[in-house]
Structure 1
């Protein structure tokens, strides 16, 4: 038995909830808060691999921008949030972790107008063991996907560049994929253009050029990394409108997300891409991504021997 793991109450994960630190299993939010009842919340997720955060500053900047777009203003600064996340990972001892930062709006206090302008914003952060969106085996043989009939929520209603919990369309599309025997779905804007999927950005490789949709999707940190990698590897890359027809006819398709990196697709609906395995450019990008991660690219190492603040139950 791993004695250290069995005696550490934070080994399964650690959470910070509105100023208090607790084991992940004890983390709670009020069921009356609008973060829960109205999806009045934004969030971000940063990965820890090889004992280091990947692009932590980029994730914090996007989180702050999302909070601004949703008019959420917690008391913690970006430096405070970085310290909180580091402390949670350090307390858990996890070398590979999925680390979330959420900002929720509470319900207005009694006597205040029943309006979101009067709901206090607060943070919930947590670190749990690493989460793969798709298993290593699925990634090695290529993810099986469909283009969903369900369209993405219009950006005029919900801004996709601010990470949010409005997942009704994404969840419905995931069930479409499940019913079709696939593993995930890519959604359109309802007007013939590709947007994104449940938790990931989508890319097509057309005549040797990597193409990413120009709107209707989260400006992913891993997506940003893909664009950087293309520059480093002299692979043409364009951010532009991507039609469903061009996507379905693409030479290769891959997905990108914090919880998985670069993930090739080998089947799209009834079409088998290549030889039913990841294509050469997708595979090269994926291999380079993880090799550079192992070398410490964009890494913020975690000092696991440093002290942590006392826990609050």
Structure 2
């Protein structure tokens, strides 16, 4: 049986339904998280839950459960669904109330849902790298909030897919921000460069792990904005996300990045990131073939 969490209760997924006037459905009035599961264990769970609460607080939604209670619910969900490798999707909305742009009364209880999905580790793409396009970032100005309002992201991802690419790297003017569902890094002269965590990008959990790895292994890092021209002239380019880990980018807009192969810094970070996964979740069955 496939279970889901619906407002704190574990129910059959077919029973996990929301009202047509749920504000997430009508307004996108809510936030979400995606948590990776390896070997039946959740990777960086606490960091994801902390960001979930922060995003909710940023739009005035108070989580009706403590982080410890959420953690216990998710552990139970993974166990009951026998999830070995995949993701947990969870979201909270402002709840169900008659449609009105103004927030409903405080008595309206937020709607919390979560479910699991089997997702394999993308080892082939991690080994060989992926192709990307570039496009103008048309999203709102609070991308640090993991909002349900993802139309700009979807349009970017769809354009990439239509051109046979994995991701769309977005930019505001000549300043690169992030991918449609990822953070973006370049490597120049041995230094890893990525956009600072502010309101224009999502503060990625995987990004933070990568920055910690760099610090621990004396890999130089600059958190700053970089231009489209710097992106095109980079020695290496890679992206990061919960499901993509450290993903090499080998082509930008039909032009190879250097020799069109994942670079040495990217490879080193992939190996060190795998070590971090195995520290928390145990040995991985599928390895990246370098």
Normalization by structure 1: what TM-score? 0.83
Give the alignment's Cα RMSD to 1 decimal.
2.0
The runs of 4+ residues in structure 1 deviating greater than 4 Å are none
Per-residue Cα deviation, 1:68-108 (whole angstroms, up to 9, x for no partner): 00111132111111111011001111122301221112232
Give the aligned partner of residue 74 of structure 1: 63
Counterparts in 2 of 1:96 and 1:178: CA distance versus 1, 3 Å: closer
Match of 1:136 among 108, 123, 126: 123
**1:140–1:277 Cα contact (<8 Å) kept:** no
Counterparts in 2 of 1:192 and 1:154: CA distance versus 1, 3 Å: farther
Give the aligned partner of residue 206 of structure 1: 188
CA–CA distance in 2 between the matches of 1:161 and 1:131?
Answer: 27
**2:138–2:152 Cα contact (<8 Å) kept:** yes
Which consecutive residues of structure 2, in runs of 5 or more, have no partner in the other structure?
283-290
**1:108–1:114 Cα contact (<8 Å) kept:** no
CA–CA distance in 1 between the matches of 2:74 and 2:101?
Answer: 32
Match of 1:153 among 139, 144, 148: 139
Number of residue pairs the alignment of both structures matches? 278
Match of 1:187 among 147, 155, 170: 170
Normalization by structure 2: what TM-score? 0.89
CA–CA distance in 1 between the matches of 2:101 and 2:231?
Answer: 46
Q: Which moved more, 1:114-123 or 1:215-224?
A: 114-123
SS at match of 1:245: helix
Which consecutive residues of structure 1, in runs of 5 or more, have no partner in the other structure?
1-8, 301-313
Report how far residue 109 of structure 1 moved. Answer: 5.7
